[in-house]
Structure 1
Amino acid sequence: MNNYIGKLTIKLSFIILGLIIPFFSWSQTIVKDSLLQKVTLNDAIQYALNSQPTIQQAYLDEKITESTIKTKLADWYPQINFNYNLQHNFLVQTSIIGGNPVQLGVDNTSSAQFTASQNIFNRDALLALNTKGDVLLQSKQNTVNNKINLVVNVSKAFYNVLSTLQQIKISNSNIIRLERSLSDAFNQYEAGITDKIDYKRATITLNNTKANQKSNEVLLKARIEFLKSLMNYPEKEKLNVVYDSLQLENEVFIDTTQNLNVNNRIEFAQLQTQKRLLNANLSYNKWSFLPSIAANGAYNFNYQNNNFGDLYNRNFPNSYAGITLGLPIFQGGKRRENINIAQYWLRRNELDLEVFKNDVNSEYQQALSTYQSNFANYLALKENMSLAKEVYDVVNLQYRSGIKTYLEVIVSETDLRTSQINYFNAVYQLLISKVDVEKALGQIKY
């Protein structure tokens, strides 16, 4: 018997493992497929839009809003209810009628009631009906606003990562060149052509470049982690950022003659939606002076008997149908003040629109000025890099011919390295300022 149970247990274990292993394999495949092998800017943006919890929350808010609207609109449908009651009276109420005590009721009662009502005019239900479109639109606009802000932040974080990667790339090429120069300087010193100052200067420059590279590598790690947090990318997974520097340089241009149109901004659309809702709220408060009207009716089953066993043998039903009109006559000025509050909120919204127009104009002018300044800086630094490369090549050739000193080589090499770093920083700063201009113009659409 024990042997049979043991074999059965082994068979069950294999069956369970056969069911579990494919599940884990499928889970691993899902996780693996969700990662990005190479990450471009568009990849980073799409991943962030699909994975960022704030965007998922915004979508859930839309669903919540949609369901809430449906609950409010449900008040326009007939409301049907059922109530049941079973009661035993230990002492039946007694009243004096004509000087004689008379019991009013029986020992056992039971009732069942069906009620139905239909709103004819109800300001709460009417408000829900009139504002359902704008309430849902407001929720969707909030999602769009969150998406735009996320795209802007991811774009800037991505460009910051690229800027640091480019600096590391420049440092790597400079280190190779400096190591070669150091070797040449040391060989010339060993041959007695120069003194030890040249190769020591080369050593200092190389050490400084390596130290700067280490600093950038630490900074890169922090910037990649920040980008991953915006994307909601797994912390322990590698983010392999790729880019085409030539393509990025071609993307720095933007038409600076465009006119600002606040209607393109999602925030302006949100304020307009809010204005319509506030107008609806004003009407809602004015409707408080109107009566609420509802049709209603009921059918009641009424069972009474002193003998519990015979309780449901006799029924004394009743039913009715009618219209109910409710009209608050005096509430201490509450309704008038609610109307005033609604009007104040509407006026405040109009001022918000004016403030927003001023802020957007200021934001656009500042973003445009920054872009134009960065563009001028970009052009100058691009020329500087070309000149620095030319100077370094000439000076290095003259040094090898014995015309220039090694100090001049170091100076020209430092100028070249600085101009390269400044140039690529200018490219990415220009791209970041371009994003700000596009956001100010309302051209980022998601």
Structure 2
Amino acid sequence: MKLFSIQGTLIKSLFIMTISFISQFSFSQSNVTIYNLETFVNTVRENNLQIKISEKESRLADLSIKEAMSALLPQINGQTEVKRNLNDQFIFFEAPDFENIDPVTGDVPQIVQRFKTNFNNEFQANILLEQNLFSLRNIYNLKSARQFSNIGRLQNEDRIIKIIAEAKKAFLQTVLIKNVYQISQVSELHAKENYIASKNKYDNQLISELDLLQAKIRWEEELPNSLKAKRNYLMLLGNLKLIAGINPKDNIVLDYDLAEYELKDSTVNSEDVIGNRIDYRLLEANTYLQELDIKNKQAEYYPTLDFRAGYSYFGSSDEWTFQDNQNKIIYAAVTLTVPIFSGGFRKSQVSKAKIVSNITSLEKQEAKMSMTIEIQNLELKLSEEYETIQAATSTGETAKKAYEIAVETAKSGLISQIDLRNISDDYNRAEINLYNSIYNFKCTQIDFNNAIANY
């Protein structure tokens, strides 16, 4: 679609080329990288720090599967201990003293005796194998871990979609402000040319000093507007570097024509597209996870069966050897644990899990209704903004024609500089309004595409 443009004259085109050259090489002599919307989005996917953080968090969720799997696999642990006793330990007991029997009565007296019970050095080694043979909770823990990993992946995809959408909008906003900057530069140039022409007329006594001063005021008023637009543009460029992970010292140039747009068929069946949305699939995954949590809590009512086998070696000696006084123990055991009474704790856990599951299900229903309304509102908004562009285009063409007539009329002195300035301001506003309308339309298109799962 052809729009009226600020490049209607040769001098405008040359000036805008100069502005582009300055924007590319004003900061340093390093190489300049040109980004269109596609290459910028690709750079964001590769370098955006929030995306990298999200990917790391998604990997954390994957590790929960290994943690749950470990409960179903055998656990083998070994332990070794070398002990040095720093003093002797004794056992005391009373024993008959036959050497001191009473010769008259024949009574045998009791005497306290002691015996050493330890060695100077002790060595102990143990190996224990544990294996769960049956536990419903461990099985549901594994299923929940797999679902939790799936949720982590969906959350990562959802974050990336939102980050990319915001990156596209930031890119379009920067292009919009770049156009505003160019408009302000052209407006400043026209005001300067008008002032020079007015000065020549004043020198030839063709206009009054008041007309000359008004032309000068108009030119001077354009200068701060141009500086402000330049500042806003450069700040937004810096923000794009942050979003895309670009070195702040690198120079970038945006290659994008904001005037190109297209209204596609925005009528869709929300029932067909909502199921494909990542955020809705995330809600479904959370609902299933809560259902697994109910079964997990109910598994506490079922018995568990565990197997243990071990080997223990004991050795002790007063010398530095562990082959004396050996004891070796090999054992195996099966443990059956049957839950009988928990004081209502298990029942309350199941009830809580059911309540949370019901809440999650209701939240999914509410979200689906909200998504349906969102799609309908975005359809209306797209249609409205497209009509706004058509109206802004017509207004802009009218303002351009009025400005061209005013310039020629001002040359002949038939209108004042104030009238020319007002008409010029109207023309600038019309151009800015048109670009702003297109920017709003394209931002809504981004939201609409995400709402219908057109990522």
Match of residue 33 from structure 2: 37
Structure 2 residue identity aligned to 1:293: L
Go from structure 1 to structure 2 and tell me whether the alpha carbon gap of 1:198 and 1:371 turns closer, same or farther (over 3 Å shift): farther
Alignment of 1:195-214 (within 5 A): 195-214=208-227
Structure 2 residue identity aligned to 1:381: A
Q: CA deviation at 1:348?
A: 0.9
Contact conserved, 1:161 with 1:224, CA < 8 A, in 2?
yes
Contact conserved, 2:177 with 2:233, CA < 8 A, in 1?
yes
In 2, Cα distance between equivalents of 1:279 and 1:286: 11
Moved more, 370-379 or 328-337: 370-379
Equivalent residue of 2:80, what SS?
A: strand
Equivalent residue of 2:201, what SS?
A: helix
Say which of 319, 333, 339 aligns to 1:322.
333
In 2, Cα distance between equivalents of 1:95 and 1:238: 93
Contact conserved, 1:84 with 1:113, CA < 8 A, in 2?
yes
Contact conserved, 1:252 with 1:427, CA < 8 A, in 2?
no
Structure 2 residue identity aligned to 1:60: K
Unmatched segments (≥5 aa) in structure 1: 1-33
Q: Which has the larger radius of gyration?
A: 2
Q: CA deviation at 1:215?
A: 1.6
Contact conserved, 1:45 with 1:154, CA < 8 A, in 2?
yes
The answer to whether the aligner puts 1:149 opposite 2:149 as a matched pair is no
Structure 2 residue identity aligned to 1:285: K
Q: CA deviation at 1:419?
A: 1.3
In 2, Cα distance between equivalents of 1:375 and 1:210: 33
In 2, Cα distance between equivalents of 1:225 and 1:152: 18
Go from structure 1 to structure 2 and tell me whether the alpha carbon gap of 1:35 and 1:269 turns closer, same or farther (over 3 Å shift): farther
Equivalent residue of 2:71, what SS?
A: helix
Contact conserved, 1:94 with 1:104, CA < 8 A, in 2?
no
Structure 1 residue identity aligned to 2:134: F
Aligned length: 407
**In the TM superposition, what whole-angstrom CA distance separates every residue of 1:363-385 from its partner, at most 9, and x where no partner exists?**
33333333332221111111111
Q: CA deviation at 1:282?
A: 0.7
Say which of 116, 120, 129 aligns to 1:116.
129
Structure 1 residue identity aligned to 2:176: S
**In the TM superposition, what whole-angstrom CA distance separates every residue of 1:22-64 from its partner, at most 9, and x where no partner exists?**
xxxxxxxxxxxx9971122222222222222221111112222
Say which of 428, 440, 445 aligns to 1:434.
445
In 2, Cα distance between equivalents of 1:252 and 1:95: 104
Alignment of 1:67-216 (within 5 A): 67-87=63-83, 88=85, 90-92=88-90, 106-107=118-119, 109-216=122-229
Alignment of 1:282-297 (within 5 A): 282-297=294-309
In 2, Cα distance between equivalents of 1:75 and 1:153: 42
Go from structure 1 to structure 2 and tell me whether the alpha carbon gap of 1:256 and 1:310 turns closer, same or farther (over 3 Å shift): closer
The answer to whether the aligner puts 1:368 opposite 2:364 as a matched pair is no
Say which of 268, 293, 299 aligns to 1:258.
268
Say which of 375, 380, 385 aligns to 2:391.
380
Unmatched segments (≥5 aa) in structure 2: 1-29, 97-109
Structure 2 residue identity aligned to 1:417: N
Moved more, 414-423 or 341-350: 414-423
Equivalent residue of 2:39, what SS?
A: helix
In 2, Cα distance between equivalents of 1:54 and 1:386: 43
Say which of 353, 356, 364 aligns to 1:353.
364
Say which of 32, 49, 52 aligns to 1:56.
52
Go from structure 1 to structure 2 and tell me whether the alpha carbon gap of 1:371 and 1:336 turns closer, same or farther (over 3 Å shift): same
Equivalent residue of 2:246, what SS?
A: coil
Equivalent residue of 1:239, what SS?
A: strand
Question: How high is the TM-score relative to the length of structure 2?
Answer: 0.81
Contact conserved, 1:95 with 1:104, CA < 8 A, in 2?
no
In 2, Cα distance between equivalents of 1:380 and 1:290: 71
Structure 1 residue identity aligned to 2:89: L
In 2, Cα distance between equivalents of 1:238 and 1:180: 32
**In the TM superposition, what whole-angstrom CA distance separates every residue of 1:269-296 from its partner, at most 9, and x where no partner exists?**
1111111111111111000011121122
Go from structure 1 to structure 2 and tell me whether the alpha carbon gap of 1:380 and 1:158 turns closer, same or farther (over 3 Å shift): same
Q: CA deviation at 1:214?
A: 1.5
Say which of 280, 284, 290 aligns to 2:292.
280
Say which of 221, 224, 228 aligns to 2:241.
228
Q: CA deviation at 1:217?
A: 1.5
Q: CA deviation at 1:75?
A: 2.3
Question: How high is the TM-score relative to the length of structure 1?
Answer: 0.82
Structure 1 residue identity aligned to 2:255: V
Equivalent residue of 1:254, what SS?
A: coil
Q: CA deviation at 1:168?
A: 1.0
Go from structure 1 to structure 2 and tell me whether the alpha carbon gap of 1:334 and 1:51 turns closer, same or farther (over 3 Å shift): same
Q: CA RMSD in A?
A: 2.9
Q: CA deviation at 1:179?
A: 2.1
Structure 2 residue identity aligned to 1:128: N
Equivalent residue of 2:253, what SS?
A: coil
Go from structure 1 to structure 2 and tell me whether the alpha carbon gap of 1:310 and 1:210 turns closer, same or farther (over 3 Å shift): closer
Match of residue 342 from structure 1: 353
